[in-house]
Amino acid sequence: MVFVTKSASEHFSYPRTSTKVSKLFSGIPLVDLTKPDSKQLIVNACEEYGFFKIINHGVPMDFITRLESEAIKFFSLPLSEKEKSGPPNPLGYGNKHIGKNGDVGWVEYLLLTTNTESISQRFLSVLGNNADEFCSALNDYISAVKKMTCEILELMSDGLKIQPRNVFSKLLMDEQSDSCFRLNHYPPCPELQGLSSASARNVIGFGEHTDPQIISVLRSNNTSGLQISLRDGSWISVPPDQNSFFINVGDSLQVLTNGRFESVRHKVLANGLKSRVSMIYFGGPPLSEKIAPLQSVMNAEEESMYKEFTWFEYKKSAYSSRLADNRLGHFERIAAA
């Protein structure tokens, strides 16, 4: 099955209304978490790209490789076994179909809650004797990544000079936080095998979209495929780096900062030769949380660019949309002339 890339304009009828002037692209912003300039670099990257790469992140390599090998074990099971953990509702195993509204990609995945105690029985029964190892690897990984993510969110509030410094991180730390976790496996795509780069076409692994949550933290193996969209609408390939994490600004953080940060559109292209495995932590607020610009990020005269909504309302609307839709469009206030 081949899914040919559509240009952004075919999918996406709302133009992005960014007033920011695009600078010449000088590479994916790189943030070293151990350096004192990290807070300013994080703010700059969120303003310019909604995306950056983290090194010296403090997440033990062993947690990463253990979870990756558990993921590979799961994806290597026969399809009929994996399908016992599906279809996703929205959590569970999915294959080629993404969401409920007709999106497809060259990908199989597992969507899970970050609360390992409430991982579904249908998934655990597929893992059989291996369930304990999988859950322990997942637990270690998620705890360490959540800690790093909160550190990043606190550096973000320092960089924005807003108080308290846990304004963002407390939403992920809340017991009721609606965060989730995704394992993606992009198998080598047979349609692309043996094609020279001149005749290669784009096969979509995961179609273009923004993430609805506050922040997403991605780690992948060394297979390429991820692309991000710059503010001028052009697409940039992100060189893979299995030792680093990549951070996406989500729609909710765009609203909390009243558009000062913009969520990043991204997609994954399939590969003809190598399989790609990625794991993504999506940091979300509690369902009842009101998502509105923080007073402390707005200037005296500044008005909210968005209508009021809770994370529950936004999530509901997101899950009834297509992947490439401009989900925040429905929640934008029309500026008075």
Residues carrying an active site annotation:
276
- Cα-Cα-Cα-Cα torsion 26, 209, 4, 188, nearest 10 degrees, comes to 80
Give the HSE-up count for residue 290: Cα atoms under 13 Å, Cβ half-sphere.
6
Pairing mode of beta strands 245-249, 290-291: unpaired
| Cβ at position 178, least distance to ligand GA4 in Å | 9
For the window 104-123, what string marks contact with ligand GA4 as x by the rule CB under 6 A? -------x------------
| Cβ at position 209, least distance to ligand GA4 in Å | 5
- Residue 111 is inside which H or E element, if any? strand 103-113
Task: Name which of 12 and 160 has its Cβ closer to ligand GA4.
Answer: 12
Does 86 engage in binding with ligand GA4 (CB under 6 A)?
no
Task: Name which of 246 and 297 has its Cβ closer to ligand GA4.
Answer: 246
Nearest to 245 by CA among 212, 274, 270, 281: 281
Does 266 engage in binding with ligand GA4 (CB under 6 A)?
no
Does 256 engage in binding with ligand GA4 (CB under 6 A)?
no
Q: How many CB atoms lie within 10 A of CB 147?
A: 15
Site for ligand GA4 in 149-188 (CB under 6 A): 180, 182
| Cβ at position 184, least distance to ligand GA4 in Å | 9
Does 323 engage in binding with ligand GA4 (CB under 6 A)?
yes
Residue 223: what residue type? T
Give the HSE-up count for residue 212: Cα atoms under 13 Å, Cβ half-sphere.
28
Task: Name which of 136 and 312 has its Cβ closer to ligand GA4.
Answer: 312
Task: Give the residue, chosen from 87, 125, 303, 319, that forms a contact with ligand GA4 under the rule CB under 6 A.
Answer: 319
Task: Name which of 159 and 285 has its Cβ closer to ligand GA4.
Answer: 285
Side-by-side strand order, sheet with 103-113: 30-32, 51-55, 245-249, 215-220, 276-283, 180-186, 103-113, 92-98
Distance between CA atoms of 41 and 155, rounded to whole angstroms? 10
Residue partners of 331: CB distance under 8 A and separation at least 6: 255, 306, 307, 309, 314, 317
- What is the helix, strand, coil percentage profile of the chain, to 5? 35, 25, 45
Does 67 engage in binding with ligand GA4 (CB under 6 A)?
no
Distance between CA atoms of 157 and 233, rounded to whole angstroms? 28
Task: Give the residue, chosen from 50, 318, 326, 328, that forms a contact with ligand GA4 under the rule CB under 6 A.
Answer: 318
Q: 20-50: buried (b, 16+ CB within 10 Å) or exposed (e) per residue? A: eeeeeeeebbebebeeeebbebbbebbbbbb
Distance between CA atoms of 20 and 22, rounded to whole angstroms? 6
Task: Give the residue, chosen from 56, 101, 237, 288, that forms a contact with ligand GA4 under the rule CB under 6 A.
Answer: 101
Task: Name which of 44 and 310 has its Cβ closer to ligand GA4.
Answer: 310
Does 211 engage in binding with ligand GA4 (CB under 6 A)?
yes
Task: Give the residue, chosen from 31, 98, 172, 189, that forms a contact with ligand GA4 under the rule CB under 6 A.
Answer: 98
Does 212 engage in binding with ligand GA4 (CB under 6 A)?
yes
Does 239 engage in binding with ligand GA4 (CB under 6 A)?
no
Task: Name which of 159 and 225 has its Cβ closer to ligand GA4.
Answer: 225
Select the span of 9-17, 94-102, 119-127, 238-246 touching ligand GA4 (CB under 6 A).
Answer: 94-102
Task: Name which of 291 and 318 has its Cβ closer to ligand GA4.
Answer: 318
Under the rule (CB under 6 A), what is the footprint of ligand GA4?
90, 98-99, 101, 103, 111, 180, 182, 209, 211-212, 282, 318-319, 321-323
